[in-house]
Amino acid sequence: MTEVKIVATYKRRDEPDWLIADLRANLAPWVDEFVELQQPRSGGWQHEGHSLDTQRRLVRRAHGSCWVLFVDPDERIEDNAVNVVREAISRAPAGTQAQFQFPLREMWTPTQWRCDGQWGAKKPRTRLYHLHPGQRFRDKPIHCGVVPIGPAHNRITLPVAMYHLKNVEPENRRARAEAYLAADPRFQHQRREGKDWEWLYDETGLQLAEIEPGRGFSPAYEPGSYTFTVPGRELASASGGSPVAEHERG
């Protein structure tokens, strides 16, 4: 199997230290390095295209061309990734620019994910690819894709789930809707129809599925532990600042 270097990068704003520590612990068994972008804790939603470009520049500066994984602090990858990802990279078809994607599971309780309707039909999240010079990327202020654009890319879905934790706490669902609406109130940069994000906390037709034995993630999520802060609602202890990067071994 070909040896590869994988760098995980994420951006941080109001997230608590334990959430970041858990993210790193979750990925450490198969990720070699971490690059953190610290965003200012004042002001509203940060332009996603700009921040993603900053993340890529930080990764290139520290590690050159490498495989890069984009994650959010409230996302976790199934523990089985340790047995899957590197082998999948080594087996990627020769001559292609492989992009790996993870089936998304929106957690509704600490151990159950929502599987009804559009929740269960969400597209896999494409987050892992090889970063190198000459690639082109989208530049959107909200919901901006992280991978290169172009016709030559080969997307491969891995049999490894990505678990999203932000919807576990009911109050976070409403806060998330508020944040999206504030970031783009006229839906100029989003495709979803409608004038609000009420569907994020609407439980009509709710169906939940328990994580199957052997398909979980670690560390486990503790109920009631994460409160999402809407960008622009600064915490009393918040302080502004310029983006900085941290480079550490997994």
CA nearest to 169, candidates 122, 214, 229, 210: 229
**pLDDT category of residue 142 using cuts at 50, 70 and 90:** confident
pLDDT, tens digit (0-9, with 9 covering 90-100), for 199-209: 899 999 999 99
**pLDDT category of residue 40 using cuts at 50, 70 and 90:** confident
Say which residue, 127 or 150, is predicted with more confidence.
127
Instruction: Please give the Cα distance from 107 to 75 (Å, whole number).
Output: 10
pLDDT at 124 over 80: yes
pLDDT, tens digit (0-9, with 9 covering 90-100), for 176-199: 999 988 888 877 777 654 567 888
Helix spans in 98-239 (H)? 117-120, 170-183
Average pLDDT of span 146-154: 84
Residue 72 sits at φ, ψ, to 5 deg, of -105, 155
